[in-house]
Amino acid sequence: MIGDKALSRLGFGVTGPHAGWGLPRRETHTLIRRAVGLGMTFFDTGPAYGNGEAERRLGEALRGFPRDRVFVATKAGIHAGRRRDFSPGAIEMSFKASLDRLKCNRIDLLLLHGPAREEMDDRLIRRLEAFKARGLLRHIGVCGRGPELDHAISLGVFDAIMAPVNSGLDNTALARLRRARESGHTVIGIEVMAGAPRRLDWPRSRSDLWYAVRSVKQRLTRTVPGDGARAAPEALKWALENAPADALVCLTTRHTNLAANARLAALERAGTAS
């Protein structure tokens, strides 16, 4: 279990439009800094998002903030071009590159990004534990969505489990999350607002266009996550009140949505931030 006060109940996902053409870099910086002001001090990103661009933006935005005031999570195992490599050497190279892009001397949480059961072997675990012993890494975890998480939970070496958390989950997925918490893992929910309906207005910004393109792709490939029955605020409210999760990660490109999400999560300073 991660007992860090900087791991806010609601986190900011630096991915998607924040990893490329969907949003200007300066706007990502502004949103991240505003999030900290609202009490949203947990940030999740990964090297596969925009070939490292998301990590670079997060590192630039957090420059100057006291390191103990924010909690940064990134990932390893899925590389540029969606190439998979969970060998200890590849994970170490990825981890060191993330440290450089994030402009920090330690990472709070490193998540293996969708490993198969057999890829979570003893050699890799020992390499991750060595990072912790050297003070480069504080916690380790696994990000996934299926039975591979059962194996990760059973190993008893990970501090956190990251998985989809929304009202569209079946009983098997919900039971898995409860089992993770009962065994002492911090559970972090993603895809909280997945499938929530969006207004079909003509795109007025690059981020609107990014969301429109993603929606079309999901429908063409029939990969729309979640149940799609709840609007975004209701989906977040459901997860905050009902989901077996210690923290939730949300993605937004709008200041109004950022502030509204912070209020729903009742974050510290949410009502007083400018």
Catalytic residue flag (residue 49): yes
The Cα 211–Cα 203 span in angstroms is: 9
Enumerate the β-bridge partners of residue 247. Answer: 188
Enumerate the β-bridge partners of residue 137. Answer: 107
DSSP three-state, residue 197: coil
The Cα 120–Cα 111 span in angstroms is: 12
DSSP three-state, residue 198: coil
DSSP three-state, residue 139: strand
- Beta-carbon count within 10 A of 99 CB: 19
Q: What is the CA radius of gyration of the chain?
A: 18
What is the number of H-type helices and E-type strands within the chain? 9, 10
**Burial label, 216 (beta-carbon count in 10 A; 0-12, 13-18, 19+):** exposed
Signed CA dihedral, 228, 238, 75, 181: sign only: negative
The Cα 165–Cα 177 span in angstroms is: 9
Question: Which residue of the set 42, 43, 49, 131 is catalytic?
Answer: 49
Catalytic residue list: 49
